[in-house]
């Protein structure tokens, strides 16, 4: 078997490993609030999220196209490119796995982009990066949680006004049903965003390895069916395993959630993520839903959120990019030496 074929196979294996770990950490994105409000049992919520993650991953390829075009693949030889992709994926998977064990919700998008960028710069310097795609992705990751916060705050204030005369029992019954819909929408957008990121990386490897025609423009971007199915399955299995510590952090510890709050948080985050997927910008589902939950808590005043925990989560966000970039570069150097 040719060495390039072996490297393509390794890229696919490591990419799917990252997809699994990403689903493991990001399970909380879709189901933390629906579990925290006790609308669904943890098992039922995980099954719902895994199923709709699978469906979301099959919708569209615009996010995958952006991910496949983060770097200029022609600036390095085939072998170097494969090694840097493997290094970036390993760095992202390691970081996401460790943070999940600590119960910290982190961005799989940040992890993946940090790992790939760090390995790519180690391989060929900053000129290898496609500045426009990297820039718009990082900008979206900064804007998304702010948008989630603001939309959730305004959305929930509107809900309070509309339902101010409702009985507590009516609120619980109506929004308990609505929250199943909003949690499902959140899971669908998670698949649309996160699974597509790995699809783009695998497609890049297939193109470089000669197993697919050169990556086209976004409108004509093609992801092979088996790649879609493999990525969708792995992220769904990771979600089914569930990062329970992360779920507890978002669903129970960050702020107190009832069904109306859970519905508002999931709906607000889903709106942001649906728009991002439609325009092909990879966006952090973790940052978006966390921002939405903080926005809800803020409607109760400063005491409505455990800001100390929020600060720890934000510190994990801040360190994700530089940590995965450094780790990606180190792993690239180690693999290159081998």
For residue 137, give every residue at least 6 positions away whose Cβ sits within 8 Å of its Cβ, in sequence order, or none: 66, 70, 109, 113, 281, 282
Q: How many CB atoms lie within 10 A of CB 127?
A: 11
**Statement: residue 318 has pLDDT above 70:** yes
User: CA gyration radius for the chain?
Assistant: 20
Structure tokens belonging to residue 102: 């600590």
Residues 186, 273, 271, 225, Cα dihedral to 10°:
-70
What does the pLDDT read at residue 65? 73
- Of 32 and 205, more confident: 205
**Statement: residue 153 has pLDDT above 80:** yes
251-to-165, 265, 290, 296 alpha-carbon distances in Å:
27, 11, 10, 13
Range 194-217 average pLDDT: 77
pLDDT in tens, 296-314: 777 776 555 665 666 666 7
What does the pLDDT read at residue 15? 92
pLDDT band at 221 (very low <50, low <70, confident <90, very high): low
Range 209-232 average pLDDT: 72
Supply angle C-alpha 17, 113, 47, rounded to 5: 45
- Residue 129: beta bridge partners? 71
What does the pLDDT read at residue 334? 94
- Identity of the highest mean pLDDT range in 37-46, 174-183, 230-239: 174-183
pTM score, whole prediction: 0.80
**Helix ranges restricted to H, the chain:** 3-36, 42-57, 62-68, 78-101, 108-124, 131-162, 168-190, 196-208, 225-241, 244-248, 259-278, 285-298, 307-337
13-to-17, 19, 85 alpha-carbon distances in Å:
6, 10, 12
pLDDT in tens, 154-175: 998 898 888 888 888 888 888 8
Kindly state the percentage of the chain with pLDDT values over 90.
Answer: 17
What does the pLDDT read at residue 219? 45
pLDDT in tens, 16-71: 999 888 877 766 666 666 776 777 777 787 778 778 877 777 776 677 777 777 88
What does the pLDDT read at residue 94? 94
What does the pLDDT read at residue 217? 47
Structure tokens belonging to residue 139: 């900008």
- Of 141 and 96, more confident: 96
What does the pLDDT read at residue 275? 87
pLDDT band at 262 (very low <50, low <70, confident <90, very high): confident
What does the pLDDT read at residue 277? 79
pLDDT in tens, 77-110: 889 989 999 999 999 999 988 887 877 777 777 8
- Of 21 and 283, more confident: 21
What does the pLDDT read at residue 107? 77
Residues 283, 286, 287, 289, Cα dihedral to 10°:
110
Calpha distance 68→204 (Å, rounded): 5
**Statement: residue 337 has pLDDT above 60:** yes
Domain ranges of the chain: 3-337
Range 249-257 average pLDDT: 57
- Identity of the highest mean pLDDT range in 191-200, 206-215, 264-273: 264-273
């Amino acid at each position: 078997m040719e060495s390039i074929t072996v490297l393509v196979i390794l890229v696919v294996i490591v990419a799917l490993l990252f997809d699994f770990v990403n689903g493991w950490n990001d399970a909380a994105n879709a189901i933390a609030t629906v579990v925290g409000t006790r609308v669904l049992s943890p098992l039922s919520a995980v099954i719902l999220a895994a199923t709709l993650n699978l469906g979301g991953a099959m919708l569209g390829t615009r996010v995958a196209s952006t991910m496949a075009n983060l770097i200029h693949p022609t600036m390095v030889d085939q072998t170097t490119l494969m090694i840097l992709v493997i290094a970036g994926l390993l760095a992202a998977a390691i970081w996401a796995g460790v943070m999940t064990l600590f119960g910290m919700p982190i961005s799989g998008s940040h992890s993946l982009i940090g790992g790939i960028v760090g390995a790519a710069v180690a391989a060929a310097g900053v000129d290898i990066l496609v500045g426009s795609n990297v820039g718009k992705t990082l900008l979206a990751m900064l804007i998304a949680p702010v948008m989630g916060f603001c939309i959730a705050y305004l959305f929930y204030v509107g809900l309070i006004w509309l339902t101010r005369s409702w009985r507590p029992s009516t609120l619980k019954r109506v929004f308990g049903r609505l929250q199943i819909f909003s949690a499902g929408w959140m899971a669908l957008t998670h698949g649309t965003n996160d699974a597509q990121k790995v699809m783009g990386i695998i497609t890049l490897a297939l193109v470089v390895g000669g197993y697919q025609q050169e990556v086209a423009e976004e409108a004509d971007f093609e992801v092979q069916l088996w790649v879609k199915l493999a990525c969708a399955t792995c992220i769904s299995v990771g979600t089914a395993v569930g990062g329970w510590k992360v779920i507890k952090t978002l669903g129970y510890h960050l702020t107190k959630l009832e069904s109306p709050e859970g519905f508002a948080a999931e709906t607000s985050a889903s709106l942001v993520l649906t728009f991002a997927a439609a325009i092909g910008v990879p966006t952090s589902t973790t940052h978006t839903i966390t921002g939405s939950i903080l926005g809800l808590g803020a409607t109760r005043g400063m005491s409505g959120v455990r800001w100390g925990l929020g600060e720890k989560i934000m510190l994990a966000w801040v360190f994700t990019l530089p940590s995965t970039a450094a780790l990606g570069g180190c792993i690239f150097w180690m693999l290159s030496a081998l």
